[in-house]
Amino acid sequence: MAKQVKLFQSLLKHSARLQPNLKCKCTKNVIHSRSLHSGSIYEQKTSWSAVSTYDEAFRRSVETPNEFWGEAAENISWFKKWDRVLDDSNSPHTRWFVGGEMNTCYNCLDRHVEKGFGDMNAIIYDSPVTNTVQRITYTQLLREVAKLAGALSNLGVKKGDRVLIYMPMIPQAMATMLACARLGAVHSLVFGGFAAKELSTRINHAAPKVIVSASCGVEPNRIVDYKPILESAIAQSEHKPDKCIIYQRHGLEKAILDPQMDVNYHDVVSAAKPHDCVPVLATDPLYLLYTSGTTGTPKAIIRPNGGHAVVLYWSMFNSYGIKPGEVWFSGSDLGWVVGHSYICYAPLLHGNTTVLFEGKPVGTPDPGTYWRVIHDHGVAAMFTAPTALRAIRREDPKGAYMKKYFLGHFRELYLAGEHCDHETLEWARDTLQKPVIDHWWQTETGSAITCSNMGLGNNPYPPAGVAGKPVPGWNIKVLRQDMTECDVDELGIIVAKLPLPPCAMSGLYKNDEKFLSAYFKTFPGYYDSTDAGFIDKEGNIAVMSRVDDVINVAGHRLSSGALEEAMLEHPDLAEAAVVGVPDTLKGHVPLGLCVVKSGTKKHSTDIVKEVVQCVRDHIGPVAAFKQAVIVPRLPKTRSGKVARNTIASMASGKSFKVPASIEDPGVYPQLAAIFKQMGYVDLGEPEM
Ligand code: COA
Ligand code: AMP
């Protein structure tokens, strides 16, 4: 530990050299965090708002974005400096750091080792499901990544090629991401909880030259064999990779490799020579990340190398108050954007130690597991989803497990991924006696859109229900459909005035039409977040819900359309609809409505069971699709569109008005009777 502290102190000096203003900002923040720990947390509210540097940073970021992000970019090592910070001549195809050449892996690893911080831990892999704790230094990680890049190169992977990663939460998954970045190859990491069909859709679309996978994942209740899922996905995909690299996990059953297609991770890495960093343009893609949209086909977000590195580095201190050398823990999964940005890239870019946690907030082995990790590894701040806190609270309402651990060094808990309910937020603040900060994100944005911006002196205790103020670079407005601005506290659509800041997606892979129509068409000149919310009188943003057909389940985004397509794989279904209904643990869970083909003889209970299995087989267990019901028909508009919002309101117990465009309003009393029978709230007859 003493060695780590010494390294941290010298890293701070090194960072202050890189970032001329950091020293004075840091000093200010140290004062803040000290005062934060003394006395009652609630006493701090006024002093925080009094010393804000946020307003100035925000103003500069929107008035002179060139200057603002140009300065931030000085903290990144460039092989060739950019010609222009911002090129917005073809908006919304905004380009940042045009002409600049860099390498994200170099910035994450090599430069820290070259500066003498190779002995510092880059990753602490903590896996309660395999009973493992492993510390990996920057030097060790660099060695592994350079050799893995060599192995990928030996298999023909070069700059611009796609590599698909389908791996559990193990250090080799992060090493593969970084090895791709090192080569200038574009990774596409797919979450382990997806079924073969979803994986095959991504393989077909990304057309990877190589796939890197592992023998298995470990869920608390079962081992997930990855190899059969991968084989089935490749069989279903028209595109076939040249090779699959398979990592055989220690102490667990080994996968059987196909000598034609598969190579062993350990063998190819051992045999390879280390590969150097390949310079890429700032505007070249670092990764593709698939996310759910309104339709069944997922969208592949393109993340550019340069802007991503600049903003993520900047955010570690300015948004999260984290100083280089500190330990940071993001309790998410590498398969989601939060995992990409805040398990892997941001902490490494910034010279921090990142905790890679393979487990669940509860049951591995108990609801104290997050607090143990914070205690054992000296975590300064953490990021997780409200669902995780709800799960912990359910099992440990009085915080008895939390009290078993010393958390004096722990400063803040950040939440995102879904709307955080007041009760959970207040419970966490009271129990932890630390700031618990909700902030708003999307896969598209790559980093937070709103936050308490701890490094800039924002109030760490905004009222429950809001997700902080816009992060510099995000010029947020709340609009009515006619594009006029909403009043304070008035619900509307949250949009961001263009240009978007440098970390935002640069496009949708192989789907520019969708890029333009999904995000920029409804409100010209703005990015449409498809989230509804409002701005309060302090300028905080509250994010309430999606306005499209995306359901947020435990912080995971699921498309109603994709779930319906999976339901319709059942031969006896004529029609299907999926809506999100409130769930005390996961925020929302999907509910499926099935219309059975006439003449079907099968018993309805069997059909429901099979439909549930169908969704699990096609989308995967992550959909948490466990409830379905047979209905005689669906409410539809005259143009044939299923009125999902009215079904969702009805099943959630919210009152609603039947839209005039509904073809047959008589369907609602039928649905009401069915929902009542299922135990959903009885609303009586809806308003016609
Ligand atoms: N590989 C394979 N299967 C996976 C998986 C993975 N990586 N992750 C989840 N699954 C499976 C689970 O085993 C479960 O399967 P089951 O239906 O057989 O039980 C199913 O997918 C649903 O998983 P999950 O959403 O994790 O629910 P859970 O009931 O197992 O656990 C929580 C509940 C609260 C512990 C869990 O939802 C959680 O940790 N939520 C936090 C989410 C989060 O951090 N989101 C970050 C987004 S920023
Ligand atoms: P994803 O792209 O999977 O990260 O999901 C993004 C969506 O999650 C957003 O569009 C919101 O609907 C929701 N979301 C994320 N963070 C928050 C938050 N802090 N409050 C409310 N909703 C959130």
**Ligand 2 site, residue 543, Cβ cutoff 6 A:** yes
Residue 125 has pLDDT above 70, yes or no: yes
Task: Pick the range with the lowest mean pLDDT from 55-64, 328-337, 383-392, 634-643.
Answer: 634-643
pLDDT of 383 reads 96
Q: Tell whether ligand 2 has an atom less than 6 A from the beta carbon of residue 438.
A: yes
Would the CB of 500 count as within 6 Å of ligand 1?
A: no
Sign of the C-alpha dihedral computed for residues 285, 291, 293 and 298 taken in this order: positive
Our answer on whether the CB atom of 441 is closer than 6 Å to any ligand 2 atom is: yes
Give me ligand 1 centre to Cα 253, in Å: 22
Cα-to-centroid distance, 193 and ligand 1 (Å) = 8
d(CA 329, CA 342): 8
Note whether 121 and 1 are within 8 A (CB). Answer: no
Q: Kindly give the interhelix angle for 604-618 and 196-206, rounded to the nearest 10 degrees.
A: 40
pLDDT given for residue 445 in this prediction: 98
Atom of ligand 2 nearest to the CA of 543: 21
Residue owning the nearest CA to atom 4 of ligand 1 = 193
| Inter-residue contact 500 to 507 (CB < 8 Å) | no
Residue with tokens 């490094």: 455
92 prior amide bond cis, ω within 30: yes
17-21, 124-128, 215-219: least confidently modelled range: 17-21
pLDDT category at 23 given cuts 50, 70, 90 is very low
367 CB near ligand 1 (under 6 Å): no
Ligand 2 centroid – CA 271 distance (Å): 43
Q: Residue 336 Cα, ligand 1 centroid: separation in angstroms?
A: 12
The per-residue pLDDT for range 385-428, each reduced to its tens digit, is: 999 999 999 999 999 999 999 999 999 999 999 989 999 999 99
Rounded distance between C-alpha atoms, residue 300 and residue 285, angstroms: 12
Instruction: Identify the pLDDT of residue 651.
Output: 87
Which stretch of 16-25, 299-308, 392-401, 459-468 has the lowest confidence by average pLDDT? 16-25
pLDDT band at 637 (very low <50, low <70, confident <90, very high): confident
Strand 299-304 to strand 507-508: parallel, antiparallel, or no bridges (unpaired)?
Answer: antiparallel
H/E run at residue 376: helix 369-377
**Ligand 2 atom nearest 552 alpha carbon:** 8
pLDDT of residue 653: 82
* CA 555 to ligand 2 center in whole angstroms: 7
Mutating to test ligand 1, I would choose from 222, 360, 442, 552 the residue with most ligand atoms within 8 A of its C-beta, which is: 360
Q: Which ligand 1 atom sits nearest the alpha carbon of residue 417?
A: 48
Residue 7 belongs to what H/E stretch?
A: helix 2-18
Task: Note the pLDDT of residue 677.
Answer: 84
Is residue 42 predicted with pLDDT exceeding 80?
no
Alpha helices in 619-679 (DSSP H): 644-652, 667-678
Torsion sign across C-alpha atoms 477, 482, 487, 491: negative
Which is nearest to 541 in space by CA: 611, 613, 465? 465
Cα separations in angstroms, 291 against 157, 402, 466, 493, 557? 25, 34, 24, 20, 7
Q: Which listed ligand is nearest to 559 at the C-alpha?
A: 2
Q: What is the predicted pLDDT for the residue at 67?
A: 96
> CB neighbours (10 Å) of residue 555?
21
Which residue in 141, 125, 117 sits closest to 324, CA to CA? Answer: 117
Amino acid present at 58? F
* pLDDT interval class at 655 (50, 70, 90): confident
**CATH 3.30.300.30 in the chain, residue ranges:** 556-687
% of the chain surpassing 70 pLDDT? 91
Q: 560-567 and 604-618 are packed helices; what angle lies between their axes, rounded to 10 degrees?
A: 120
Q: What are phi and psi of 514, to 5 degrees?
A: -65, -40
587 close to ligand 1 (CB < 6 Angstrom):
no
Q: How many CB atoms lie within 10 A of CB 621?
A: 17
User: What's domain 556-687's architecture?
Assistant: 2-Layer Sandwich (3.30)
Nearest protein CA to atom 42 of ligand 1, as residue? 554
Over residues 2-17, the pLDDT tens digits come to 444 444 444 444 443 3
Ligand 1 touching residue 217 (CB < 6 A): yes
Looking at ligand 1, which residue's alpha carbon is closest to its atom 10? 193
CA atoms within 13 A on the CB side of 603: 3
What letter represents residue 317's amino acid? F
pLDDT at 143 over 90: yes
Mutate to test the pocket of ligand 1, among 364, 373, 387 (most ligand atoms within 8 A of CB): 387
| Ligand sitting nearest the alpha carbon of 190 | 1
Ligand 2 in reach of 414 Cβ (< 6 A): no
Q: Tell me: the pLDDT tens digits for 222-271?
A: 999 999 999 999 999 999 999 999 999 999 999 999 999 999 999 999 99
What is the C-alpha to C-alpha distance for residues 161 and 148, in angstroms, rounded to an integer? Answer: 15
291 lines ligand 1 (CB under 6 A): no
pLDDT band for position 675 (50/70/90)? confident
Q: Tell me the average pLDDT of the chain.
A: 90
Task: Decide: 337 in ligand 2 pocket, CB within 6 A.
Answer: yes
3-class SS string, 437-503: EECECCCCCCCCCEECCHHHCCCCCCCCCCCCEECCCCEEEEECCCCCECCCCCCEEEEEECCCCCC
| Cα diameter, the chain | 76
Q: How confident is the model at residue 49 (pLDDT cuts 50, 70, 90)?
A: very low
445 lines ligand 2 (CB under 6 A): no
Q: How many A from CA of 420 to the centre of ligand 2?
A: 10
Tokens of 536: 């309060």
165, 219, 332, 449, best to mutate for ligand 1 pocket (most atoms within 8 Å of CB): 219
Q: Which range is least confidently modeled, 308-312, 648-652, 682-686?
A: 682-686
121-127 and 353-357 beta bridge pairing: parallel
The residue among 530, 557, 550 whose CA lies nearest residue 645 is 550
Question: pLDDT value at position 33?
Answer: 28
